Chain A
Amino acid sequence: MRRRVLVSGALLAALVVPSVAAADSVFGIRGLGLLGRPLSGRAAATGGAFHLFDAASIGNPSALAQWLGPAGWGVGAASSRRFSNGPTSATLGSTRFPLFGFAVPVGQRMVVGVSVSDYLDRTWSVSTTRDSTLRDSTVTLTDVANSTGGVTDLQLGAAYRINPSFMVGFGIHALAGSTQLSVERGFSDPRFIDYKDVATTAFSGVGVSLGAQGRVSDHLAVAGAVRLNGRLTAKADDGATARIAMPVEFSGGVMFAPVRGVGFAATVGFRTWARSAGDLVAAGQERSRSVWNVAIGSEIDVFNFLGQRVPVRLGYRWRQLPFPVAGSGLSEHAFSGGLGLGLAGGRATLDVGVDVGSRTAGIATEKFTSGFVGVIVRP
């Protein structure tokens, strides 16, 4: 009974979370925003290399089958960023919660789960200042554009263990969320009254995903997933609507574990964001491009702590982003690391990690340090 209450509570908590977002970036100003990275604390610490094999990450629905009992998980991410744009720069920071999930076995071989994660992040803010002539006098104008929100991915997934070495999974995705964009103009001359206008855009869409993973040998496992998305509908509060084709997402990975407690993984993904280009151009945006992402990482039990083996994780990742900024393609790379700690006699896990990297588009660069804290509870 107590377990059922805990499970229900965790499920409810996952569903009522008001907003889910990854660490923000001003580069989300173009296109549909910055692509989310809905990774668990463990996967994030390996650069995402293990995410197709990780039950608490979203990339592969078949990974849900690894849960042998009810589980709930969440990730908090805090980032500090240094944004440089030619002669100007700023230090930025924010805290977001990119992933919540819950899974429960149904029968001996099947696991169903629900997750709420960041898919497209559209939280950003930019400020510009310039002088202009108004009513025959020079006035300094300070414009601030501010966007908050994004597109959230709600997944209902199911995974099945065909045998101990091979699992398949299926996910149904609902894309939902909204952004509130405000524009403000301040005037240095107090005779002018500041201007501010606000608009809200709501998003909706659906998708499905399929995934599988299997052990090829005692030391080698492979995984793959594909996600098909329908069109994303964006509807502004003034009634204007746009429908944008969304990408097909492919990803594949390999994990090598030569000895117990030592694992290496590599993942590659491809997303056909070029499909969105026509719709984005029609909406006045620049053309998007299809993008690749690559990650490699390791997880090694380096030492014991309080009688438990503590895995130390390292990784490197690189990815392209689909929406150009200032006419330049955007790419991102980062090194990551972290470790995991077992708690409560194995009923909980605390994963912590850090991600240090940069994004670059033309002369604009954003260097970031993101910290992740992931908690998994198995009541």
Chain B
Amino acid sequence: MVVGAALAAAVAGLGCRENVTAPGTCPGICPAGQIRIVDTTLTGIVVSDTSYVGYIGTREAPFLLLSNGDGLKAVTLIRFGARDTTWIPGSNDTAVGIGRVNSVRLTLTLTSRDTLAHHVWILAYRLPAFFDTSLTRAEVQPYLADSLLVDSIPVPDSLKSGLVSDTIRAGALDDIPAGDSNVVSLALVVHGDTSVTLSLASSEDIGGAPRLYWDVHARAPRDTLAHTFSIGPQFDSFVYQPSAINTATALLAGGLPSARAIIRLRLPPEAIDSVGLVRATLILTAISPALGLPNEHFRLSARGIIRDFGPKSIIFTDTAAGGTAPVVTGDSGEIHIEIGRLLRVWGTTSGDSLPRALMLMSASEGGGMGAVRVARRAAADPTTRPRLRLTYVRPYEFGVP
């Protein structure tokens, strides 16, 4: 019995590993059929294309832009919240009013900057407290006068990112005119020994929004009491030039206000295949260098559409239902986006009802200035029109038996 049990155990041990895959050699030890790959480029696949602008505005961006470059000039606009005129020093105390302002401090959080620019200054100008938030950059210019200069804030060359704090020169913001309801608004511009672009954290960012701190003393007879008012922005945004792009001549995607372009396709059966399609590359041709901040890296995304409602189309939230391509400001030429997985989804039974359309947009929409302008389907130069490069496997001949 013991011998039998031992033998049975040994037999069982032989098969405890289930592995039947052997190294093959073709054509000897190899299936009779062959996987045959075809590579082709489809043109004339776009039946309609349109760009739409304004999905995310500059006021919703997580950054504030300042630039004095030749190609990009940007001014940040901030309206701080109303500062209180009294405070309560203790829990069992009564309110006391502001007697005098000792100092006013402005803090900004630098998120990125040109590292090549030196002697950078941020100039703060006083804006009307309740300025029109739809101001254009041109309309801001009159307020960038020396008479309205509040202060010049140095940005150390060694600072790549982080807090910039400046005590405003005495008297510049000590008094808030009665008609301004204790509200202060500022316009920020940047200067340096060369063109310079930098960005600051906005109130849309998790932390680091611009703040004003008023260090004050109470009125007599309680003028020994001190207090600091900390006020964040009620509104912050930026205006810049150039900001208008003609979407009639090109497809625009990315930037701020953010733009998207919808591309509707008509594809042959081999392109919409849940099995045989192994790679599909959407090839777009930029008609001008990519826009954005100097050396800005961003990704252009081609996202599948669930329901085609034009500019308000519902797109896949899963980024796998589409593809992205890296772009750097100034890039030109072709942009290749892999969309094979989306086309495979279209080839499934559940994908039958999906529109054969995709949305071009920045992968981090609203998170940067990066934008591309690509040729439309009716571009004068046919070689620049959108096209699709397909790699697929011909139907496999399994054979019988």
- Chain B interface secondary structure, helix, strand, loop or mixed? mixed
A350 contacts B8, C-beta separation under 8 Å? yes
| Stretch in B23-31, B139-147, B156-164, B243-251 touching the partner | B23-31
**A86 adjacent to chain B (CB < 8 Å):** yes
A371 contacts B23, C-beta separation under 8 Å? no
**B338 adjacent to chain A (CB < 8 Å):** yes
Interface string of A348-378 (1 = CB under 8 A from B): 0010101000000010100001111100000
Q: Contact check: which of A29, A127, A325, A352 meets B11 at CB < 8 Å?
A: A352
The CA-CA distance from A326 to B28 in the complex, in Å, is: 4
A92 contacts B28, C-beta separation under 8 Å? no
A235 to chain B, nearest CB (A): 7
B21 contacts A80, C-beta separation under 8 Å? no
Interface string of B293-327 (1 = CB under 8 A from A): 00000000000000000000000000000000000
B231 to chain A, nearest CB (A): 50
**B37 adjacent to chain A (CB < 8 Å):** yes
Q: Contact check: which of A236, A242, A325 meets B29 at CB < 8 Å?
A: A325
Complex interface: chain B residues within 8 A of A191 (CB): 279, 281, 338, 340
The CA-CA distance from A201 to B32 in the complex, in Å, is: 15
Complex interface: chain A residues within 8 A of B276 (CB): 195, 197
Query: Contacts A126-B23, A197-B275, A241-B400; is A373 near B16 (CB within 8 Å)?
Result: no
B35 contacts A185, C-beta separation under 8 Å? yes
**B350 adjacent to chain A (CB < 8 Å):** no
Mark out the residues of chain B between 3 and 32 whose CB falls within 8 Å of any chain A CB in the assembled complex.
3-4, 7-8, 10-32
Query: Contacts A80-B17, A94-B15, A371-B11; is A325 near B28 (CB within 8 Å)?
Result: yes
A94 contacts B22, C-beta separation under 8 Å? no
**B137 adjacent to chain A (CB < 8 Å):** no
**A4 adjacent to chain B (CB < 8 Å):** no
- Chain A interface secondary structure, helix, strand, loop or mixed? strand
Interface string of A69-94 (1 = CB under 8 A from B): 00000001111100101101111111
B14 contacts A305, C-beta separation under 8 Å? no
B7 contacts A89, C-beta separation under 8 Å? no
A66 to chain B, nearest CB (A): 23
Complex interface: chain B residues within 8 A of A92 (CB): 19-22
**B399 adjacent to chain A (CB < 8 Å):** yes
**B202 adjacent to chain A (CB < 8 Å):** no
Most A CB contacts (10 A, CB to CB) among B3, B28, B391 go to B28
Complex interface: chain B residues within 8 A of A339 (CB): 3-4, 7
A-B pair number, CB within 8 angstroms: 197
B29 contacts A369, C-beta separation under 8 Å? no
Query: Contacts A240-B400, A350-B8; is A326 near B29 (CB within 8 Å)?
Result: yes
- Give chain B's interface residue range (CB within 8 Å of chain A): 35 or more
B224 to chain A, nearest CB (A): 69
**A306 adjacent to chain B (CB < 8 Å):** yes
Query: Contacts A326-B28, A341-B1; is A235 near B400 (CB within 8 Å)?
Result: yes
Most A CB contacts (10 A, CB to CB) among B4, B39, B278, B344 go to B4
The CA-CA distance from A16 to B326 in the complex, in Å, is: 57
A305 contacts B3, C-beta separation under 8 Å? yes
A234 contacts B400, C-beta separation under 8 Å? yes
**B82 adjacent to chain A (CB < 8 Å):** no
**B149 adjacent to chain A (CB < 8 Å):** no
A183 contacts B22, C-beta separation under 8 Å? no
Q: Contact check: which of B17, B24, B278 meets A128 at CB < 8 Å?
A: B24
Q: Contact check: which of A127, A305, A371 meets B22 at CB < 8 Å?
A: A127
Complex interface: chain B residues within 8 A of A125 (CB): 20-22
Complex interface: chain B residues within 8 A of A338 (CB): 7
Most B CB contacts (10 A, CB to CB) among A79, A242, A339, A373 go to A373
The CA-CA distance from A32 to B33 in the complex, in Å, is: 15
**A228 adjacent to chain B (CB < 8 Å):** no
Complex interface: chain A residues within 8 A of B281 (CB): 191
A85 contacts B22, C-beta separation under 8 Å? yes
Q: Contact check: which of A181, A201, A283, A305 meets B1 at CB < 8 Å?
A: A305
For B340, give the chain A residue with the smallest CB separation: A193
B342 to chain A, nearest CB (A): 11
For B343, give the chain A residue with the smallest CB separation: A193
**A95 adjacent to chain B (CB < 8 Å):** yes
Q: Contact check: which of B14, B29, B399 meets A126 at CB < 8 Å?
A: B29
B18 contacts A126, C-beta separation under 8 Å? no
A365 to chain B, nearest CB (A): 11
Mark out the residues of chain A between 92 and 139 whose CB falls within 8 Å of any chain B CB in the assembled complex.
92-95, 123-128, 134-135
**A26 adjacent to chain B (CB < 8 Å):** yes
Mark out the residues of chain B between 52 and 70 whose CB falls within 8 Å of any chain A CB in the assembled complex.
none
**A15 adjacent to chain B (CB < 8 Å):** no
B39 to chain A, nearest CB (A): 6
**A144 adjacent to chain B (CB < 8 Å):** yes
**A292 adjacent to chain B (CB < 8 Å):** no
Complex interface: chain A residues within 8 A of B37 (CB): 134
**B83 adjacent to chain A (CB < 8 Å):** no
**A285 adjacent to chain B (CB < 8 Å):** yes
Interface string of A18-32 (1 = CB under 8 A from B): 000000101001001
Query: Contacts A93-B14, A95-B15, A193-B344; is A127 near B24 (CB within 8 Å)?
Result: yes
For A183, give the chain B residue with the smallest CB separation: B396
**B108 adjacent to chain A (CB < 8 Å):** no
**B282 adjacent to chain A (CB < 8 Å):** no
B338 contacts A352, C-beta separation under 8 Å? no
**B393 adjacent to chain A (CB < 8 Å):** yes
The CA-CA distance from A244 to B19 in the complex, in Å, is: 31
Complex interface: chain A residues within 8 A of B227 (CB): none
Complex interface: chain A residues within 8 A of B77 (CB): none
Most A CB contacts (10 A, CB to CB) among B10, B12, B19, B400 go to B400
The CA-CA distance from A144 to B3 in the complex, in Å, is: 41
Q: Contact check: which of A77, A95, A126 meets B30 at CB < 8 Å?
A: A126
The CA-CA distance from A222 to B44 in the complex, in Å, is: 79
Complex interface: chain A residues within 8 A of B39 (CB): 134-135
What 3 A-B pairs come out closest when comparing CB atoms?
A: A78-B15, A326-B28, A371-B11
A-B contact pairs, 11 of them (CB 8 A): A78-B11, A83-B23, A93-B15, A123-B20, A127-B22, A197-B395, A201-B398, A305-B1, A341-B1, A371-B10, A373-B12
Footprint of A on B, CB under 8 Å? 1, 3-4, 7-8, 10-33, 35, 37, 39, 275-279, 281, 338, 340-341, 344, 389, 391, 393, 395-396, 398-401
In addition to A143-B35, A242-B400, A352-B7, 18 A-B residue pairs with Cβ atoms within 8 Å of each other are: A78-B14, A80-B17, A90-B22, A95-B18, A127-B23, A128-B23, A128-B26, A146-B21, A183-B396, A192-B278, A195-B35, A197-B398, A201-B401, A338-B7, A354-B10, A370-B14, A371-B12, A373-B12
